[in-house]
C-alpha cells in the first residue's frame, strides 16, 4: 500500500520485490501482480469492518439495518484512514477494472449480508423477507453490493470535511433501501433521491 501510494503502479513486480527486499518466490505465493495485491487490500478492508462490528457486544441484538450501518460506517472509516491508497487504486483501475479488483471484497460483503438478514427474525417474517427466501440469497446480496459500490463512488468524490456527506449518504441510502424492502411509505426514498440530486447539481 505504501509503495503504490508513493510510486504508483509503474514498474514490474520484480522491481518492487527488489526495492522492498521481498524474495520474488515469496511474493508469488500470495499474488501474481499489483492487481492481486489490490484485491487483497480491499478484501481486508471489508473483513476488518465486519470483524470489528461483530466484536461489539450489542451486535447480536442489532436488527439488519443496524448491522448494515455498523459495517458501512466502519468500512468507510477504514477507507478514510487509508485514503491515499484507496483513491490511488480507484483512479488507476477505473470503474470497469474495479469490478475485477473488488471481486474478493464482494465475496466477503455478500456473505455478511446474507448472514445479517437471515439472523433477523423480524425481517425474515416480513413480506419482502418471504419473497427473498423464494428467489434466493444471491439476488439480495447483489442488490446491497450495488449499494456499496454506489457509496464507494460517492466517497471517492466526497470533498466534505471528514467525509461528512458520505456518512449522510450511508444513512439515507440504508433507510431508503430498508423502507423499500419493508414496503413502508417511500418518503425516505424521495428524501435520498433529493439528497443525491442536490449533490449532483452542486458539482
CATH number at residue 9: 1.10.357
Domain containing 40: what range? Answer: 2-202
Whether the predicted pLDDT of 132 surpasses 60: no
Whether the predicted pLDDT of 177 surpasses 70: yes
> What pLDDT is stored for residue 157 in this prediction?
95
Report which of 175, 149, 154, 178 is spatially closest to residue 166, judged by C-alpha positions. Answer: 154
Cα separation, 150 vs 183, in Å, equals 22
Q: What is the percent of the chain where pLDDT is above 90?
A: 54
Grid coordinates representing 159 are: 470533498
The continuous run of DSSP H or E covering 6 comes out as helix 2-7
Q: What is the pLDDT of residues 15-60, one digit of tens each?
A: 889 988 999 999 999 888 889 999 999 999 999 999 999 999 999 8
The total number of structural domains that make up the chain: 1
Burial class of 68 by CB neighbour count within 10 A (0 to 12, 13 to 18, 19+): buried
DSSP 11: S
* Confidence label for 187 from pLDDT (cuts 50, 70 and 90): low
* Confidence label for 183 from pLDDT (cuts 50, 70 and 90): very low
Q: What is the pLDDT of residues 72-123, one digit of tens each?
A: 999 999 999 999 999 999 999 999 999 999 999 999 999 999 888 776 555 5
Report which of 63, 112, 109, 92 is spatially closest to residue 3, judged by C-alpha positions. Answer: 92
Radius of gyration of the chain (CA): 19
Amino acid at each position: 500500500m505504501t509503495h503504490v501510494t508513493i510510486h504508483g503502479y509503474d514498474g514490474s513486480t520484480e522491481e518492487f520485490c527488489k526495492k522492498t527486499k521481498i524474495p520474488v518466490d515469496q511474493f508469488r505465493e500470495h499474488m501474481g501482480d499489483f492487481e492481486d495485491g489490490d484485491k487483497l487490500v480491499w478484501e481486508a478492508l471489508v473483513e476488518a469492518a465486519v470483524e470489528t462490528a461483530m466484536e461489539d457486544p450489542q451486535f447480536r441484538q442489532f436488527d439488519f439495518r443496524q448491522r448494515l450501518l455498523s459495517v458501512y460506517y466502519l468500512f468507510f472509516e477504514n477507507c478514510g484512514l487509508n485514503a491515499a491508497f484507496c483513491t490511488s487504486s480507484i483512479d488507476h483501475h477505473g470503474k470497469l477494472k474495479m469490478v475485477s479488483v473488488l471481486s474478493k471484497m464482494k465475496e466477503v460483503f455478500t456473505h455478511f449480508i446474507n448472514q445479517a438478514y437471515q439472523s433477523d427474525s423480524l425481517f425474515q417474517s416480513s413480506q419482502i423477507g418471504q419473497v427473498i427466501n423464494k428467489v434466493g440469497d444471491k439476488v439480495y446480496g447483489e442488490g446491497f453490493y450495488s449499494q456499496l459500490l454506489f457509496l464507494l463512488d460517492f466517497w471517492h468524490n466526497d470533498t466534505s470535511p471528514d467525509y461528512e456527506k458520505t456518512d449522510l449518504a450511508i444513512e439515507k441510502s440504508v433507510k431508503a433501501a430498508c423502507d423499500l424492502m419493508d414496503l413502508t411509505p417511500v418518503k425516505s426514498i424521495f428524501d435520498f433521491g433529493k439528497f443525491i440530486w442536490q449533490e449532483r447539481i452542486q458539482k
